[in-house]
Amino acid sequence: MKSKHIDFKRLNDTMDTALRDAEIRAFWEGLSYSELSYDTKVEKVKKRYHLSYESVTRVIYNK
């Protein structure tokens, strides 16, 4: 599909965000098998992906 009205940079950013969110959910799913507390798991995700607490919870619970 070609169009002069498509912003490919924006489309690429949207795809990157969706892939990142899927990766974060998979990482969170893996952490669910550990003995870590909820807050420790959130901190690990925050450090790995450089996100805020609000962003992490939004990604985790927005399925």
pLDDT in tens, 37-46: 999 999 999 9
Note down the domain range covering 29. Answer: 8-61
Here the contacts of 56-59 (C-beta below 8 Å, separation 24 or greater) are 56/24, 59/21, 59/24, 59/25
Question: Is 11 in contact with 4 (CB distance < 8 Å)?
Answer: no
Residue 12: inside a domain: yes
Residue 43: inside a domain: yes
Domains held by the chain: number = 1
Between CA 9 and CA 57, with CA 28 as vertex, the angle to 5 degrees is 70
Q: What is the mean pLDDT of residues 26-38?
A: 95
Residue 1: inside a domain: no
Residue 2: inside a domain: no
Residue 3: inside a domain: no
Give this prediction's pTM. 0.76
Per DSSP (E only), the strands in the chain are none
